[in-house]
Amino acid sequence: DAKTTQPTSMDCAEGRAANLPCNHSTISGNEYVYWYRQIHSQGPQYIIHGLKNNETNEMASLIITEDRKSSTLILPHATLRDTAVYYCIVGRVGNEKLTFGTGTRLTIIP
Amino acid sequence: ETGVTQSPTHLIKTRGQQVTLRCSSQSGHNTVSWYQQALGQGPQFIFQYYREEENGRGNFPPRFSGLQFPNYSSELNVNALELDDSALYLCASSLDRVLGETQYFGPGTRLLVL
């Protein structure tokens, strides 16, 4: 699976959009980009995933660059409950495992 | 709430002992994966079970073993515990074994080995 690079930490003001970047320059054509988050003392929670088109669901939007070498997770109106570690994961459909890095610790500031 | 439960929530063992951790998956989910999460690190894949058979294994020694049962429950067994086995152990269930299916994580079991 391709490796990902994320900033170690980020802050965002409550009510603003939180934009979390992820670099995956070695991604292959059949690999998806997944985002999970882990709130303190809980198991990881699925957020969204995509292949090459931008995706949106009730939690977030995923913007993938045209060359697929990077992506951005957008939380449109961050709340205090969005404070968590966010993991960007690249994986091939048909693979059985998620390969987590160390993620980005996002802190929402009141 | 993901519908995935784990027991116990916390556990303390001593080096050399054996431990069994339990997971109850969402009904209908025939795939369960186990992960180990050391403090300050992301979860690391241990293995996956699909319809009661092992379906992939990470870089963990054979003293880590598992079982999956027809009633959507599963176990992670660790023999000859070492200090480095201290971690949060997570199970995740999914509808199918392929990565495209969302994995639903339980809250984890925190194991401390003294």
pLDDT per position as a tens digit, B22-60: 999 988 888 999 999 999 899 999 999 988 999 889 999
Residue B97's pLDDT is 60
Whole-number pLDDT of residue A44: 93
Q: Looking at residue B100, what is its pLDDT?
A: 58
Q: For the CA atoms of chain A, what is the radius of gyration?
A: 13
How far is the C-alpha of B114 from the C-alpha of B65, rounded, in Å?
21
- CB–CB of A46 and B55 under 8 A? no
Query: For chain B, what is the mean pLDDT?
Result: 92
- In angstroms, the CA B31 to CA B102 distance is 11
pLDDT band at A45 (very low <50, low <70, confident <90, very high): very high
Q: How confident is the model at residue B101 (pLDDT cuts 50, 70, 90)?
A: low
Single-letter amino acid code for the residue at B67: L
List CB contacts (< 8 A) between A43 and chain B: 2, 4, 90, 92, 105-108
CA angle A66, A71, A75 (to 5 degrees): 130
**What band does A83 get if pLDDT is binned at 50, 70 and 90?**
very high
What mean pLDDT comes out for the span A11-27?
A: 96
| Mean pLDDT, range A15-30, rounded to an integer | 94
**Cross-chain residue pair A43–B2, CB shorter than 8 Å:** yes
Neighbours of A90 (CB within 10 A): 23
Q: What is the mean pLDDT of residues A19-27?
A: 95
Sheet holding A18-23, edge to edge: A18-23, A70-75, A61-64, A55-56
Going through A24-93 in order, the beta strands assigned E by DSSP cover 31-38, 45-50, 55-56, 61-64, 70-75, 84-92
CB A73 within 8 A of CB A60: yes
Task: Say yes or no: A32 contacts chain B, CB-CB below 8 A.
Answer: yes
Pairwise CB contact (< 8 Å): B106 & A43: yes
pLDDT attached to residue B73 = 94
Quick check: A94 pLDDT over 70? no
| Distance between A44 CA and the closest CA of chain B, angstroms | 6
Best CA proximity match to B41, nearest among A1, A38, A20: A38
Contact across the interface for B103 and A46, Cβ inside 8 Å: yes
